[in-house]
Structure 1
Amino acid sequence: MLITFKSKAATEITMYKEHARRILDLLHKDVDRGIITPAELPLAIVKIEAAIADSKAHPVSEEVSRDVNAHHSEKGDDHEHEIPEPVSFAARVFPVLEMLHAANKMQKEVVWGV
């Protein structure tokens, strides 16, 4: 399932619902449908920037790396999987954060699921 973030201050952003969920959970927002009002934007930006800093301070655990690499053998066989390229939280949230900054500057809301 896809979620599309919309604002009159920026271009639409579409991402998988499972990735949007982490962002929206930080903001205590429903993943299916919602709005971030101009009054809520400054705090939303602060929360997301803090989560980015936290994610950069805590690298991917060995357990997660082991699970990702489990699909690849010692001989380099990939079992028909492409080589995994993890995408950091900071990279995933960057477009949404840029939208929030633009919306805050123009005092426009950000909506999704509508």
Structure 2
Amino acid sequence: MPYKFKSRATADLIMLDATARRLLEIVGKDTEGPGIITAEQIPGALAALEQAVRAEEARRAEAQQDEDEQDHGDATAKGEGVSLRQRTAPFVDMLKRSAAEGRDVTW
């Protein structure tokens, strides 16, 4: 079941279940039932998301370097998959815009 994030500062954001759950876990929110990220909590949520994105990018870079050193991978398979940065972009935008207007984000 998809999640529907709402804020009075932005349009609604609909996100698939697995992605939404992962993002909510990163920001330390319960994934069961409705919830809220208050305007006061948004800076912490943004920091947690950015830290998770940087950690994933570091893991990907390390894996790519290991693969390049071993030279066993298929050249067309390198870099496949949607990164966490790409998945978080709409949510991060919603959080930033909501913070700018002092609005909460609910789901």
TM-score range, shorter chain: 0.7 to 0.9
User: Residues of 1 paired with 2:22 and 2:86: CA distance?
Assistant: 13
Alignment length (residue pairs): 90
User: Residues of 2 paired with 1:42 and 1:104: CA distance?
Assistant: 8
Quick check: which one's strand share is greater? 1
2:36 counterpart SS class: strand
- Percent of aligned pairs with the same amino acid: 33
Listed as ranges, the gaps of 5+ residues in structure 1 are: 63-84
Q: Which of the residues 83, 89, 98 maps onto 1:94?
A: 89
User: Residues of 2 paired with 1:39 and 1:96: CA distance?
Assistant: 16
Instruction: Report the TM-score when normalising by structure 1.
Output: 0.73
Listed as ranges, the gaps of 5+ residues in structure 2 are: 65-79
Instruction: Report the TM-score when normalising by structure 2.
Output: 0.77
Q: Which moved more, 1:13-22 or 1:51-60?
A: 51-60
User: Residues of 2 paired with 1:46 and 1:91: CA distance?
Assistant: 16
Tell me which residue corresponds to 1:9: 9
Deviation at 1:4, TM superposition (A): 0.8
RMSD: 1.7
* Cα deviation digits, residues 32-75 of structure 1 (max 9, x gap): 3100001101111111111111111111869xxxxxxxxxxxxx
